[in-house]
């Protein structure tokens, strides 16, 4: 594993459950999860080949750093990249045409509730993709997409998604405080409500979200009044479409 920042560390803590042996190369770290090995520099690695090389460094470092790792990949091995904005073709070229699986995770992987999109490059469609998907499922939900354009769309939906949810929760808590609740009570009520609603939706994967909404909405009641203010003019729906489109457009610009 080349680099192990906040996202890499969040993933590694759950990857360790799979039984593989991990070696991390990162000059800035003081420790890694129990069972992993930490070295400071590429020169400290054994020359024995590795089945997977995980790219977890900043994209601007990739051209300089990754070519020296090409010779360490075992026959039949592959490259797993969580580096945002670095294409499969670019990384494969730097790694002597190695097969690459590109992954877009999100930060809730730190608590085992991540959502990741995976895309396989040439030669990575079989066993490499299966293994990479297994690794990502240890951190939460893993969705395989067909091409890198869809990875940019994953970035817009789930990669950036926790930020949208935190902003919604922040505004919801602020509104609850305006209703007279103490900040700690407002936070507990809002986060508990969100958690409970999501748990209900996840408990029945076949349940339509509109039906779940309707199940707590009586005609002329309080929920109906609140929903009319929230999205009666379709403003919330439109704002969310604009949010995802803006994030997707920026992801394309950063390729």
Is 215 exposed, middle or buried, given 0-12, 13-18 or 19+ CB atoms closer than 10 A? exposed
Mark which of 101, 117, 145 sits at the end of a domain. 145
DSSP code per residue over 117-167: EEEE-TT-TTHHHHHHHHHHHTTEEEEE-SSHHHHHHHIIIIISHHHHHHH
Band the pLDDT of 84: cuts 50, 70, 90. confident
Do 203 and 240 share a domain, yes or no? Answer: yes
Q: Is the pLDDT of residue 19 over 90?
A: no
Asked whether 139 and 109 are in contact (CB, 8 A), the reply is yes
Instruction: Name residues whose C-beta falls within 8 Å of residue 198's C-beta, 6 or more positions apart in sequence.
Output: none
pLDDT band at 46 (very low <50, low <70, confident <90, very high): confident
Domain boundary among 116, 145, 174: 145
Residue-wise pLDDT for 142-177, tens only, equals 999 999 999 999 999 999 999 999 999 999 999 999
Within this chain, do residues 122 and 174 fall inside the same structural domain, yes or no? no
- For residue 71, tell me if it sits in a domain: yes
How many domains would you assign to the chain? Answer: 2
| 1 in any annotated domain | no
Kindly report the CATH number assigned to the domain that includes residue 180.
Answer: 1.10.3730.10
Same domain flag for 82 and 22: yes
pLDDT tens per residue across span 188-244: 999 999 999 999 999 998 999 999 999 999 999 999 999 999 999 999 999 999 999
Q: State how beta strands 100-104 and 73-81 pair.
A: parallel
Question: For residues 64 and 159, what is the distance between their CA atoms, to the nearest angstrom?
Answer: 26
d(CA 53, CA 99): 11
**Same domain for 82 and 53:** yes
**Overall average pLDDT of the 58-74 stretch:** 92
Structural domain of residue 179, as residue ranges? 161-253
Q: Is 47's pLDDT higher than 80?
A: no
Q: Is 151 a domain residue?
A: no
The CATH number linked to 135 is 3.40.50.720
* 38 and 89, same domain (yes or no): yes
In this model, does residue 255 exceed pLDDT 80?
A: no
R_g of the chain, CA atoms, integer Å:
21
Q: Could you tell me if 103 and 172 lie in one domain?
A: no
140 and 16 in a single domain? The answer is yes
Number of Cβ atoms within 10 Å of the Cβ of 86: 24
Which residue from 44, 51, 37, 87 is spatially nearest to 68, judged by alpha carbons? 44
In a domain, 150, yes or no: no
The verdict on residue 153 lying in a domain is no
Residues 182, 131 share a domain = no
SS3 of 252, please?
helix
pLDDT tens figures, 87-138:
999 999 999 999 999 999 999 999 999 999 999 999 999 999 999 999 999 9
| Paired strand residues for 120 | 101
In a domain, 205, yes or no: yes
Same-domain check for residues 129 and 30: yes
Alpha-carbon distance 179 to 226, whole Å? 14
The answer on 207 and 90 residing in a single domain is: no
pTM for this entry: 0.89
Interval 6-29 mean pLDDT:
92
- In this structure, the answer to whether residues 89 and 189 fall within a common structural domain is no
Check if the beta carbon of residue 50 is closer than 8 Å to that of residue 23. yes
């Amino acid at each position: 594993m080349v680099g192990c920042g906040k996202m890499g560390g969040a993933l590694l803590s759950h990857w360790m459950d799979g039984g593989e042996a991990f070696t991390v190369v990162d000059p800035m770290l003081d420790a890694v999860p129990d069972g992993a090995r930490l070295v400071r520099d590429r020169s400290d690695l054994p020359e024995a080949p590795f089945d997977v090389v995980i790219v977890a460094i900043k994209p601007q470092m990739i051209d300089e750093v990754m070519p020296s790792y090409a010779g360490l990949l075992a026959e039949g091995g592959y490259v797993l990249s969580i580096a945002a904005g670095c294409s499969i073709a670019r990384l494969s070229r730097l790694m002597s045409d190695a097969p690459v699986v590109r992954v877009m995770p999100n930060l809730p992987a730190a608590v085992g509730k991540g959502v990741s999109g995976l895309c396989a490059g040439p030669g990575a469609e079989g066993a490499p993709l299966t293994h990479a998907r297994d690794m990502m499922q240890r951190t939460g939900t893993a969705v395989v997409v067909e091409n890198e354009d869809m990875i940019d769309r994953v970035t817009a939906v789930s990669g950036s998604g926790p930020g949208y949810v935190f902003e919604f929760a922040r505004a919801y808590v602020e509104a609850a405080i305006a209703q007279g609740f103490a900040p700690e009570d407002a936070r507990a009520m809002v986060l508990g409500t969100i958690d409970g609603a999501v748990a209900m939706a996840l408990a029945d994967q076949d349940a339509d979200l509109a039906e779940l909404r309707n199940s707590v909405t009586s005609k002329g009641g309080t929920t109906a009044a609140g929903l009319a203010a929230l999205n009666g003019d379709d403003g919330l729906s439109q704002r969310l479409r604009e949010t995802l489109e803006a994030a997707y457009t920026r992801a394309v610009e950063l390729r």
